[in-house]
Amino acid sequence: MDAKLKAEKLKMWQGKLKKLQDELEAIMVRRGEAIAMGDLSENAAFSMAEEDAITWRVRIEEIEKIIKTIEDTK
């Protein structure tokens, strides 16, 4: 792979990764606020934040794999 193209792809994916990490941080803040509300068994805000966190973590892992693949490409 051309070095310039590789650098552009890395920059693009690293930008996407950063955005997802920032969004996950915001989700975790929402999750913490929901925990502070009490009774988690009936707390929809907590459930939604927990589901969002799981989804974002999976997306982050996928992008990290893509970045690793690009970095390993000659």
Measured at the CA of 53, the angle between CA 34 and CA 23, to 5 degrees, comes to 95
Model pLDDT, residue 38: 79
CB within 8 Å of 27: residues ≥ 6 apart: 49, 52, 53, 56
Model pLDDT, residue 35: 85
Model pLDDT, residue 16: 97
Domains of the chain from N-terminus onward: 3-72 (1.10.287)
Please, which contacts does 48-52 make with residues 24 or more away whose CB atoms are closer than 8 Å? Answer: 52/27
pLDDT in tens, the chain (74 residues): 789 999 999 999 999 999 999 999 999 999 888 888 877 677 888 889 999 999 999 999 999 999 999 999 87
CA 7 from centroid of its chain's CA atoms: 21
Task: Tell me the pTM.
Answer: 0.84
Model pLDDT, residue 42: 73
